[in-house]
Amino acid sequence: MLAPVAWRGLPVSLAAAKRAGERAEAAAHELLPWLRYVSDTTAEHYDAVVREPNGELAAGDVIEIKSAAVVIQDGRPGQFYLRQTQHDPLVAEEGWYLLVVCSPTTDREILTHRFVRAATLEADHIDSWWSGAGTRSDFRQLRWPHVIARDAVEGSR
């Protein structure tokens, strides 16, 4: 059972959030070796390509990996941070999101995951994009229980 108090304290910086996301991506590639890593210099709107068919996923499908901590500092569920500049090309390529819920620790252990078509996520959960500040792209945040059943994560509230 996870203890929500494990990650209390100072707000997380953007740099720390980016590092946590990178650790979660690495953990996803380790957990799902049939995904091929794709660098940001190759494609900015996805992180992986399916090597071999797996369930609904076909070889060549593009995957954007998004992670959320099971809980954040205030004890609420973490959020997936979606950027419109990634999302729109992902929809155009009929791509997928791999949504992972992670431990709220630096190792970012994956507690559960779910594949969702980008177009389905948009149709079911994105009614508008929020304006990004300055040079940041428009974005949307979704708390993980909106897209993953709470009972899929042991110890979540």
Q: Quick one: which of 155, 154, 124, 157 has its CA closest to 142?
A: 124
User: What integer pLDDT is reported at residue 12 of this predicted model?
Assistant: 55
Distances 103 to 4, 7, 100 between C-alpha atoms, Å: 10, 9, 10
User: What integer pLDDT is reported at residue 48 of this predicted model?
Assistant: 96
Q: Report pTM.
A: 0.85
User: What integer pLDDT is reported at residue 75 of this predicted model?
Assistant: 86
For 12-146, CATH gives 3.40.1350
User: What integer pLDDT is reported at residue 57 of this predicted model?
Assistant: 97
> pLDDT tens across 63-87, in order?
999 999 999 888 899 999 998 999 9
User: What integer pLDDT is reported at residue 1 of this predicted model?
Assistant: 33
User: What integer pLDDT is reported at residue 131 of this predicted model?
Assistant: 81
CB-count burial class (<10 Å; 0-12, 13-18, 19+) for 90: buried
> pLDDT tens across 17-34, in order?
778 888 888 999 999 999
Q: Which regions of the chain are under pLDDT 70?
A: 1-14, 134-136, 154-157
User: What integer pLDDT is reported at residue 156 of this predicted model?
Assistant: 55
Task: Parse the chain into domains and list their residue ranges.
Answer: 12-146
With vertex at residue 73, the alpha carbon angle to CA 71 and CA 78, rounded to the nearest 5 degrees, is 35
**Tally of residues, the chain:** 157
